[in-house]
Amino acid sequence: MVDFNVTILGCGSAKPTLRHQPSSQIVNHGGTFYMIDCGEGTQMQLVKCGFRQGKLRHVFISHSHGDHCLGLVPMLSSFALEGRSYDLNIYASSDLIEFLQNQISFFIHNASFEIIFHSIDCQHPTVIYTDAKLKVTAFPLNHRVPCYGFLFQENMGERHIKKDCITQYHIPYDRIKEIKCGADYTLSNGVVIPNADLTEPPASARSYAYCSDTRPVMRWAELLNGVDLLYHEATYSNHYQSLAVEVFHSTAEEAATFAIQCHAKRLLLGHFSSRLNGEDELLQEALRIFPNTSLANEGLEVRIG
Amino acid sequence: MVDFNVTILGCGSAKPTLRHQPSSQIVNHGGTFYMIDCGEGTQMQLVKCGFRQGKLRHVFISHSHGDHCLGLVPMLSSFALEGRSYDLNIYASSDLIEFLQNQISFFIHNASFEIIFHSIDCQHPTVIYTDAKLKVTAFPLNHRVPCYGFLFQENMGERHIKKDCITQYHIPYDRIKEIKCGADYTLSNGVVIPNADLTEPPASARSYAYCSDTRPVMRWAELLNGVDLLYHEATYSNHYQSLAVEVFHSTAEEAATFAIQCHAKRLLLGHFSSRLNGEDELLQEALRIFPNTSLANEGLEVRIG
């Protein structure tokens, strides 16, 4: 199986603290890096965590609050200075894209690479990226401004051909691809070897969901059903429940309840308020409801699935 | 004498490194904070260095390159979140002001404080700020885009009244201010005590100059004559002299030569290139020409005068 993990670059909320950076994370699937959100200072976090920018090809911005996107233009400026050659795809709401384009025109001249923008303005879950191995679905969250969650799902891969069958039946190299796709194989004497005897099913598809910033949105529990890892914001503890409602954030208990609804396998809490003295209170609150809960932290890498 | 010092928040150049933050510094004069430049991450540096934002009243931006101004909107966003009440004055070129106003409209709604913009578009040295104690003069530098240096000068204060004269001549409290301003004092018997007998001259005015980013501009040596502390960019060592010319920066040797021309009392080098493995080479290069040279570093506080 290819690598599939997420590394937290920042898991604080809007007001900065010495404990946490603003939101950003890197999803690594098979050596390609997908960034989610890009708060101030993200480029330094990339360097600190040892990520090479050349492998970063896609940046998904959940919404237009500064702590989720104000690190983008500084990062792109540095990429231009470094003479980056690879295209970079940016997925964001249309109004943020227009704003970013103005910023880029102002600060970055003669960039050595293409920046390709993709609008997210969906009312319903919408696939915004797909390749042979992975697809990303955006789904609307419930925040003060339009805001999107992201579901990363592996596409079911090809079936695996059994190596001993290749030897036994003298299967030529140029037939392997079609067998991996489900074809039977006919021997020179006319005997048909069924695909089920030649191959094994692909590994099950793994998935990761990012939900920040938002009130819990129970109607997405089915979309996220069985997700291997759920990152959900837990800006506040229950002590601030009415504030969470007022400013469209979640408590740790609400995040854990949502994880239960999704039948998530693991929950990672993030987007911690500067009002907290630490996050242990959030962890304890969530653990009472959903035992497989962890706290995000800068530099933390979590395997998906 | 009131406190007069500068604290370095960032002294790196455009491409970030783990050694240095982008440009920003705080000039403290008598407990009021004046910020020069505001690169990405400046708000975190403010917190790390223990500065209370309420005392920051003026921000001077040298030019519109991202490493000198992209921390401004994130910092203002946080000030708004914190419910700041004090006005904040921002001094920058007109095009940058227009750009910042757009950013602020997009990211900051219902700010609890006023942001007051002041254009700097001068061709000649121009006083852009003055109060009873301090004045700030902007002067054009020589960079790839319009860029300004800043000279902070104490205004010559009032004369100091001799305490024993107050007792000896029974000077009433309500006459002291005019005597400090130069008035003589007439006794009840008509005898005039000359001001020179009643007072001592004020302490000599101290000064600080900031020159970044720029080629050395020898024609400002007279303007900066005798400056107590000169911060001058030294992006490169002599090894990169032709690159320095090409991209409108300075070498350490050039900064030191300029300090000599200015009869500066002390030189502080900054804006270090990411190409350097460290800055000792810059220091040695400058020390050969101007012995009272130091290297800037994040958190360094230098007394002025």
Cβ pair B294, B267 in contact under 8 A: yes
- Per the CB < 8 Å rule, is A77 touching B14? yes
- Report whether A128 contacts A52 (CB < 8 A): no
Judged by a CB distance cut-off of 8 A, whether residue A77 touches chain B is yes
Q: In the structure, what pLDDT confidence band is assigned to residue A100 with cuts at 50, 70 and 90?
A: very high
Judging contacts by C-beta atoms under 8 Å, the chain A residues touching residue B17 are 47
The list of chain B residues with pLDDT below 70 reads: none
How is residue B23 written in tokens? 């440009």
Q: What is the pLDDT of residue B186?
A: 93
Mutate to test the interface with A, among B44, B102, B247 (most CBs of A within 10 A): B44
Nearest CA in chain A to B103: A99
Least CB–CB distance from B18: residue in A40, A47, A73: A47
The answer on pLDDT for A156 being more than 90 is no
Identify whether A67 is a catalytic site residue: yes
Q: Considering only CB atoms, which chain B residues are within 8 Å of A65?
A: 107
Q: In order of start, what are the domains of chain A with their CATH numbers?
A: 4-157+203-303 (3.60.15.10), 160-200 (no CATH)
Is B103's Cβ below 8 Å from some Cβ in A? Answer: yes
Q: What pLDDT does residue A239 have? A: 95
pLDDT of residue A201: 78
Q: How confident is the model at residue A158 (pLDDT cuts 50, 70, 90)?
A: confident
Question: Measured between CB atoms, does B98 come within 8 Å of chain A?
Answer: no
Q: What is the pLDDT of residue B26?
A: 98
Q: Report whether pLDDT(A157) > 80.
A: no
Residues on chain A touching B102 (C-beta within 8 angstroms): 99, 102
Catalytic residue among B67, B131, B174, B228: B67
What one-letter code names the amino acid at A199? T
Q: For residues A132-170, b (16+ Cβ closer than 10 Å) or e, as one string?
A: eebbbbbbbbbbeebbbbbbbbbeebebebeeebbeebe
CA dihedral A73, A76, A78, A84 (to 10 degrees): -170
Per-residue pLDDT band at A16 (split at 50, 70, 90): confident
Write down the pLDDT at residue A110: 86
Q: How many Cβ atoms are within 10 Å of A113's Cβ, its own excluded?
A: 15
pLDDT tens column, A249-289 = 999 999 999 999 999 999 999 999 999 989 999 999 999 99
Distance from CA of B41 to the nearest CA of A (A): 6
- Span B76-92, pLDDT tens digits: 999 999 999 999 999 99
Phi/psi at B140 (nearest 5 deg)? -70, 135
Specify the pLDDT at position B63. 98
Of B40, B73, B103, the CB nearest to A41: B40
Q: Provide the 3-class DSSP secondary structure of residue A197.
A: helix
pLDDT value of position A204: 78
Q: Is the ipTM of this complex over 0.95?
A: no
Inform me whether the C-beta atom of residue A103 falls under 8 Å from chain B C-beta atoms: yes
